[in-house]
A and B are shown apart, each in its own frame.
Chain A
Amino acid sequence: MVRSLRILGLVAVALMVVSACGSTSNAPAAKVIKVGLVTDTGGLNDKSFNHLAAVGLAKAASTGNICSSLTCSKDFSVQGDVVESKTGDDYIPNLTGFATKGYDLVIGVGFLMAEAVGTVSGTFPNIHFAIIDGAGTDAKGNDLKHANVQSLFFKEQDSGYMVGVLSGLLEKQSKAPKNNHVIGGVGGISIPPVNHYLAGYKAGATMEDPSIKVLIGYSNDFNDPAKCKSVATSQIGQKADILFQVAGGCGLGVLQAAGQAKVYSIGVDADQKDSDGSVIASALKKVDVATYTSIQSVVNGTFKGGALTFSIANGGAGYALDNLQVSSDIQAELDKVLGQIKSGAITPPADIPPPV
């Protein structure tokens, strides 16, 4: 039965989660800033942005002195609690749960929670909300611009551009596994944060190797590795030998498919070096930095509604080299491009150009 197989898997995952997570406690007799984090259905073990958000929260909760301004005394401590959403039906109840318990800041992780954050932040105008990758929207996707909602956006194209440059260099110098000048990108769903990554990737690769062909595919899913694996396999069939995954937990299937076909893969959001031997680099989106920054603003009393954007220039995005030793000239080129993005000499595009 499908159901029982699913459950078997869930039991295994649950055992890991049960042992891996716990809430942090607070110091006695201090003003406690309570922060509630609601993950999307990817869960804490997605090795991606849900995980990173929890890392940022844990850092805030364990740091003795999170304050950076004079208005904030040492008497503050941060208590962080996490709830994982099991289905999309949980978003509103989970956000509402923290809000009704008087949490100071409620953080929703992920673009897919935008509508839920929009609804709940309207009901609780006195509670601070933050959302990773999105804004508090209505059902039609319009930003409601609630003053109590902080939108934490990223220039994913910065990170995508860096791994694109690496891919382009490898193809140009014939250091890729098959050297057909074809690389691939597997997105989850065609939504802005995914497309930013892919747009930067394509632009960076094309800049280094103008003859390169960049295949773009979508699995229409963020959770099921099998779906991403099949998109990846078809791109490998079209001679792609470097695959960039932008699909959360689903994308782990891309890394596996690349490993089995002995081609290279590139991880996303977090450093996914350990996910598969085929991972040569990861495009980083520092959700932990963003989460920490948002919590800090509440502690400092400087919280402001509206958008905060994290990029290479302010240390909120970047890349990591993983299971591949790159030559010094490639490293030099990467350093040069990183500097150019930082200084504004290069502005990676946010949108994928339509196929010609």
Chain B
Amino acid sequence: MPVASVVFAFVIGALIVLVTGGDPLAAYAGLICGGFGIDCTQGENSALQLSNTIVFTIPLITAGIAVALPFRAGLFNIGAEGQFLAGAITCTAIGIKLGDWPTAILLPLVLVGGMVAGALWAGIAGVLKATVGAHEVVTTIMLNYIAQWLLRYLIIGGPLQLAEGTSKSSPIGAGARLATILPNDNSLIIFGLPASVYRVHTGIVIAVIAAAVFAVLLWRTALGYEIRAVGQSQKAARYAGVSARRTIIVTMLIAGAFSGLAGAIQIAGVDHNLTDKYFSDTTGFDAIAVALLGLGSAVGIVLASILFGALHSGGAVMQSDAGISASLVLVLQALILFSIAANFLSAIRLRIPGLGQAPSAPAPQAVAAALLTEAAQAPPEEPTT
């Protein structure tokens, strides 16, 4: 199904380009060149394009997990963006305050700090859901706004502002930075370009480890079993002795930690300071699409992240080479989501008797869609005895 969604998106995207007077083949050639460095015709550097794609992919993997894990527990975490920002803010704050500490201590500290901040941010929604039944979709969206405005306050007039008349923070100390894979050196020429243009950093290792941890947690631990049990049926889970409340809170805490880690990695590995660009950051929202497209599995999330990273990186080349606006990439992402959501609609039809012709068994590939409907259900009821 995910492959079909992507194919569907690209076919419709080609029609849109055609109707608006562009050349779809040129557009997609630009995307492929920009995303994967293949078949570049106008002097793009393949290694550089691949490097850009990887840089965009890294935060999507961990943020995607932050959305996928709660899906498994029947929770819809729209707040990955807020948790991402909480992680980025905390990483920056620690990285500035303790800027002269050595890497061995400071780097783990900023990454763990980002995870804790993200976990707490998501934990608020988890506790509210488990105790008073406040819907996590609403609370996480609101927490996104709070994080976004907190960030604005902090770097415009607040304690993290670099100087009057700026909209960014000071850079974090050298010890808080993730090393780039290639040395940050202008005189060293690699693949025909100065080495410093390749910005791939060691966060890629952390992201891959995070994906592995996610897979193990979900399928090889008691907690993972409980999360899946709660996601499939809270009543049955409770009957089996699983506390839905506890599982909901723990799930949100872990999810937030993954998202906070993504924010911390982005600061420590790429930007080194908070800037106004985080006002319009969309990592946490793209993560929702990544989690859906990846069907909530670790491998799927990694593949979906690479696709979205390549689309992001390819959009610019498509615009400069083929003259097609980079916004087409956003259209493609939307179409991918749309076709997944369309499946979601058919899943709803299957569940409501009398609507449409339901086949004898639900289609097994509608996993993500089924997760969505679970997520839309009412808050849990716990026995009070």
Contacts and interface: CB of A to CB of B under 8 A. Distances in A.
A221 B275 CA distance: 12
Given A3-B288, A14-B325, A190-B156, A97 B337 contact: no
16 contacts: A3-B285, A3-B337, A15-B16, A18-B327, A19-B21, A41-B280, A86-B312, A86-B326, A87-B277, A88-B275, A88-B280, A90-B312, A100-B45, A141-B163, A218-B156, A223-B280
B333 A7 contact: yes
Nearest to A97: B316
B22 interface: yes
B311 to A, nearest CB: 10
A323 to B, nearest CB: 30
A191 B166 contact: yes
A2 B287 CA distance: 13
Interface stretch (A76-84, A171-179, A271-279, A324-332): A76-84
Interface of A: 1-4, 6-8, 10-11, 13-15, 17-19, 21-23, 36, 41, 43-44, 81-84, 86-94, 96-98, 100-102, 112, 115, 122-124, 139-141, 189-192, 195, 218, 220-221, 223
Given A11-B334, A14-B327, A115-B275, A87 B319 contact: no
A101 B319 contact: no
Contacts of B166: 141, 191
A41 to B, nearest CB: 5
Chain B contact patch, size range: 35 or more
Ranked 3 nearest A-B pairs via Cβ: A88-B277, A14-B327, A7-B334
Nearest to B137: A1
Given A141-B162, A195-B165, A14 B275 contact: no
B160 to A, nearest CB: 13
A19 B327 contact: no
B170 interface: yes
Given A139-B273, A192-B165, A97 B44 contact: yes
B327 A17 contact: yes
A23 B329 contact: no
A242 B201 CA distance: 50
Given A41-B277, A81-B320, 9 more contacts: A13-B327, A18-B325, A86-B327, A100-B43, A100-B44, A100-B193, A101-B43, A141-B166, A192-B165
B52 interface: yes
A68 B329 CA distance: 40
* Most interface-central of A3, A141, A218 (chain B CB within 10 A): A3
Nearest to B315: A86
A87 B167 contact: no
A40 B171 CA distance: 22
B78 A1 contact: yes
B329 A86 contact: yes
Nearest to B53: A93
B93 to A, nearest CB: 16
B194 A17 contact: no
Given A36-B320, A191-B167, A84 B325 contact: yes
A123 B157 CA distance: 32
Given A122-B186, A123-B196, A191-B165, A21 B323 contact: yes
